[in-house]
Chain A
Amino acid sequence: MARRRRGKPKGRGHPLRTGSLLAALRLWTRRFAILAMVLVAGSLIAIDRIESPVTRDIRSGVTDLFAPFIETVSAPFHAAAEWFDAFESNATVRERNAELVQEIERLRLALQEMPALQKENRRLRALVNAGRRIEGQHLTATVVSDTGGPYVRSLLVRAGSADGIRRGMAVINANGFIGRIVEIGRHASRVLLVTDLNSRLPVRLEASGLRALLTGTNGRRMQLTYVPPNVSVAVGALIVTSGHGGVLPPGIPVGRVDSVGRDTILVRPLVNWNRLTFVRIIDYRTPGLVGDAPDDHRQQEVGRRAETP
């Protein structure tokens, strides 16, 4: 200490004092920075809860930017899974082959009946003056990643606004309904799965036509709510989209009733979440609904023409 005193330059503050002042200043700056970050985080959580377009745009931008990277890095994992899948036993391959032959036969028969059924359908619709049936435009997209962790059920798909994707569009695959587009980037979008806790889907029981709301639980099964009391629902009953509200196409299979309890009816989704590689995104809008721009009708017409064989 004495040596330090001797070396003290004249005309300046005490080095120890200046040092401790600087240290205190640094400490307070650090504390202030931490407090500011905590406040910013709290504000962001609150803003995000009200689904601000600003946070949505930032989210979409980041997703868009990193989707190609995630896709590239995920590719070897997908390749490895396909490689393992190729090691099926001879018996399994024979079994699957027999199943596929049966399915082809069934589909051939259905295809033969189709022109007659279409004709009959047109005639009946004309009789009841039902108007033209609205078909949706389809787009196939690859699944980049399933993000979210234990509390959010979502997917990243490689299609965005540049491909004509809009919020709310239905996402399906060969088995049934997967979810809805909730965030859109230019070349990537986020899909909120039907099993997510925030998912609410208007559905109906295919057999009885009974309408209800399908709510996600974040688990493997979904819950059927708003079912009128004293209505019997059978285990195994098929649940399809009701098309209520005109946002989603009606009749897309979603799941089957898995268990019927006293207060809860649980539905198992038809989609195998662990084998999602490609999805189809449907552009479907009922003309005449509020917010339907003329351009959208034109786009729908283009889609319809594109689908016509």
Chain B
Amino acid sequence: MSEPIQRAIDRAVRRSFPMATAAVASLAGVIAVPAPDYNQIAPAFTLIAVYCWSVWRPGLLPLPGVFLVGLFEDLLRGLPLGLTALMLLAAAGFVQSQRGFVFGRSFTLFWLVFGLLTIVWMAVEWLAMSLLLWQLLNPDAAVFRYLLTFGLLPVGAAMLLFVQRSGMQNV
């Protein structure tokens, strides 16, 4: 294989890191952790990945790709097909259009905006599920899920930053 082709493949692989990490985050959300009621409050890892890449590298996180990751998560978790896809699409679209407000600013602001986004995310998810099941659902689990997701952002962001710095410097 000639060098330019190798370089092109290497570049394409590196450019796919944001999408790949978002898909891995979807899988991480369904891993069986034997802690009491963990599955009900498992953090929204995909939201963390989509938020971080939407702020740092929006060009490498195309909206159709985000949509596919959402569909993948719906299929894996047995959720209404299209719900997470729609919500992720809205979240990524919003963050990418407003990224100037967060990009290059302090991490506290980055985290705070994520906190607000996650509140909206959890509220919309609860409302949508309540409507689809036509019953007012108990939001307790969603509150704990919110706290876990919000609390885990620094860890998730550090991991993604490591990916960005180690493998995506020149792409």
Contacts and interface: CB of A to CB of B under 8 A. Distances in A.
Contacts of B89: 34, 37-38, 41
Contact of B82 (A33, A40, A74, A198): A40
Contact of A274 (B34, B64, B70): B34
A37 B64 contact: yes
A178 interface: no
Contact of A150 (B27, B30, B40): B40
Interface in A164-223: 183, 190, 197-198, 218-219
Given A77-B34, A150-B41, A62 B75 contact: yes
Query: Is chain B's binding surface mostly helix, strand, loop or mixed?
Result: helix
Interface stretch (A65-73, A248-256, A287-295): A65-73
B130 to A, nearest CB: 9
A47 B86 contact: no
Given A41-B89, A62-B72, A198 B133 contact: yes
Contacts of A274: 34-37
Interface residues of B, number: 44
Nearest to A74: B32
A58 B82 contact: no
A148 B78 contact: yes
A111 interface: no
B34 A37 contact: no
Interface stretch (A92-100, A117-125, A139-147): A139-147
A77 B28 CA distance: 12
A144 B126 CA distance: 26
Contacts of B30: 70, 145, 147, 156
A87 B75 CA distance: 38
Interface in B66-80: 67, 70-72, 75-80
A98 to B, nearest CB: 26
Contacts of B137: 150-151, 197, 218
A56 to B, nearest CB: 10
Interface stretch (B1-9, B112-120, B138-146, B163-171): B138-146
Interface string B78-108: 1111110110010001000000000000000
Nearest to A60: B75
Interface string B118-156: 000000011001001101011001100100000000000
A21 interface: no
Nearest to B145: A150
Interface of A: 30, 33-34, 37-38, 40-45, 47-49, 55, 58-59, 62-63, 66, 69-70, 73-74, 77-78, 80-81, 143-152, 154, 156, 183, 190, 197-198, 218-219, 273-275
